Structure 1
């Protein structure tokens, strides 16, 4: 009896942990966490510099954004000094004026541009009619305006569409029309049910609607830019026979190529054993349990496993991945590139999740330009 009771207790504990992981993973969008404090501001001949606590993020090479708790943002450039506790970075720009002040709380981010205007782009606000309601999108045309080649930009889980503007600038520079989409329960698109994410499963329906919008407005060839979960969505949409004639190429930054691997990695990221990630799978994949965590339907995790589905990959993909990515580690990207060297070009950066552009914007743009130029030349 004692052994049976212990077994039941262990099973209940495992079920509870799986429930908690699944709930956390699919949670509705929450606000930013302002965990950094501006420790000092240095006035220098070559521009201001800001002193922050030393973390792997704040010491990373490249350019980043510091979003301030009570409004405004600070664009940061290279590291100019570092000690055991702090790092000092040059300030590229700050807004609004006077935003830079000692003691202000801030949030570190790779989202470099606030909106299209901030990125130097002219955008038209349009609506994509999705199966669950209208989803706002930005339509951005290149200079000259006469092209049938489009790019659709798909943001990731818990990230706003503004994060994709890093890629939109590249697409615009090579003459593509860009459609920057939203989707259900992302904080900007339609809110459905509990507001929880289905990890790209139902969200892909809204991106399919965006592809149809592009076709209806003249697109003849489309490249999908997908970031993180947006990469998983892009792969699902590109596999649809409906779009065989129009989706020409993919550019995927830090894509989720296997949710089982990504869930395990995120467990390790927060100090849990990787193996406990498997406990979340039933709560996501079985209808009754999925409803219990607040989802309207189950998530078919195996359809997002592109290592198993590698033979079905039919659209050429440029995969950009950070070697320091702890959220969606590059192991799956390396494996996919080995399995399908005919379809996948993998380029790695010394960067965390979705921060390859920030670590080296010039190289990111050059790789994307070369990939898109091949499409335009075909």
Structure 2
């Protein structure tokens, strides 16, 4: 039997009604506070994704033995990797090269120093482990020049490593998020051996190239135009076939270039190291690694992709996640692609790389690594990494006849 509302509340005392109203007020306030907290956190996360940031220390120098030329670091998944690496430091040295692991336990890793450290040197404890290895172009001992690429964002500094003999085959190297073109120097020698000219470029907001009006990353949606300018520069320099090599976010930029540029006919193929193929996959993974609640991740992605949020995210324009999802756009691809990716990447999961292979097995080759982590495949296994690129280039017929015969 239905009871009229008035009858249901007729016996309620004024004190009871007041208590209910107070409870509802508290609950409403709590809900608004939670929603405000989620929104605030989401906006902070969104801004962090697109804001260029400095290098963040991720390990600590625990001991330095200048007699034995060894260094002991706090142990993490990167600092214990086999191979050769770099370490950004502060003090008497800004950057040192690291060799093989000599010993490790549950909390520390001792490595060989490949940069000589004198007895009077001093290094701060906080340091950043790096896959760069080469920090400056001079370290390659190859002739190079430093041209400026005239792009829509302004003059972008570059390094040009000409092949030993004039060639119409070039490679343009595109670095990743939060780093600079030095990241790409590891790849110059293998292309030089193949008789290919290397152009190592910068792009807007990377700390070397000009700053855009917003000063934030567009995750590849606009940066590709600076690489297009490098493509035009290469054509004027005699290039007729150009390989685009992208590292991490540089992979996303390279993919946007071949999907959007009217000059993509000059591109002969892509080589992608630890690439971002779908940003939503990457950002969702990174959010889980940070133990962020799913609602925060969803709100952050929504804010990045919305017109209304550009004022608070600082992007200047929405991030077009659908356009940046290359798995969904796989049918549009026209160029052969070599992907090198570690299944334990730890920053950009390899899932989308595998999905792109499944979507376009006619164009995509995937060289799967393990243990190597993010953009440290060269460091972990230089021989396999170089052989993978070398054999792919030869199969595509992208070397001068001289280099093919000599190889």
Give TM-score, length-normalised by structure 1. 0.92
Deviation, structure 1 residue 68: 1.8
Q: How many Å apart are 1:102 and its aligned residue?
A: 6.9
Residue aligning to 2:362: 342
1:327 CA displacement: 1.4
Offset of residue 104 of structure 1 = 4.9
Partner of 2:44: 20
Q: 1:52 aligns with which of 52, 73, 80?
A: 73
Q: Find the residue that maps to 2:226 and give its secondary structure.
A: helix
Q: What is the deviation of 1:121?
A: 2.6
Q: How many Å apart are 1:244 and its aligned residue?
A: 3.9
Aligned residue pairs total: 373
3-state DSSP of counterpart to 1:245: helix
- Partners of 1:34 and 1:53 in 2: CA distance: 9
Cα distance in structure 1, aligned partners of 2:119 and 2:144: 28
For the 8 Å contact 2:59–2:79, the answer to whether it is kept is no
Q: How does 1:121-200 map to 2 (within 5 A)?
A: 121-144=142-165, 146-200=166-220
CA apart distance, 1:183: 0.8
Which deviates further from its counterpart, 30-39 or 367-376? Answer: 30-39
Whether 2:206 is the aligned partner of 1:206: answer no
For structure 1, which runs of at least 5 residues remain unmatched after alignment? Answer: none
Larger Rg: 2
Q: State the 1:7 CA deviation.
A: 4.4
Gaps of 5+ in 2: 1-23, 400-407
Q: Structure 2: how far apart are the matches of 1:100 and 1:319? A: 41
**1:98 Cα deviation (Å)?**
5.7
Query: SS at the partner of 2:139?
Result: coil
User: 3-state DSSP class of the match of 2:355?
Assistant: helix
Alignment of 1:271-350 (within 5 A): 271-273=291-293, 276-349=296-369, 350=371
Distance 2:178 2:97 in 1: 21
Give how far 1:155 is off: 0.5
Distance 1:371 1:133 in 2: 34
Q: Contact 1:39–1:53 (CA<8 Å) still a contact in 2?
A: no
- After superposition, give the CA deviation of every residue in 1:19-51 in whole Å (9 maximum; x if it has no partner): 11111111133244374114131745xxx3222
Summarize the Cα distance change of 1:338–1:275 in structure 2 as closer, same or farther, 3 Å threshold: farther
- Cα distance, 1:60–1:163 mapped onto 2, change above 3 Å: same
Q: Distance in 2 between matches of 1:337 and 1:289?
A: 34
Q: TM-score, normalised by structure 2?
A: 0.86
Cα distance in 2 for residues equivalent to 1:102 and 1:291: 41
Deviations 1:221-245 (Å, cap 9, x if unpaired)? 0000000110000001112362342
| Rounded Cα–Cα distance in structure 2 between residues aligned with 1:172 and 1:23 | 39
2:284 aligned partner: 264
1:247 alignment counterpart: 267
Within 5 Å, give how 1:219-238 maps onto structure 2.
Answer: 219-238=239-258
CA-atom RMSD, angstroms?
2.1
Cα distance, 1:4 vs. partner? 5.0
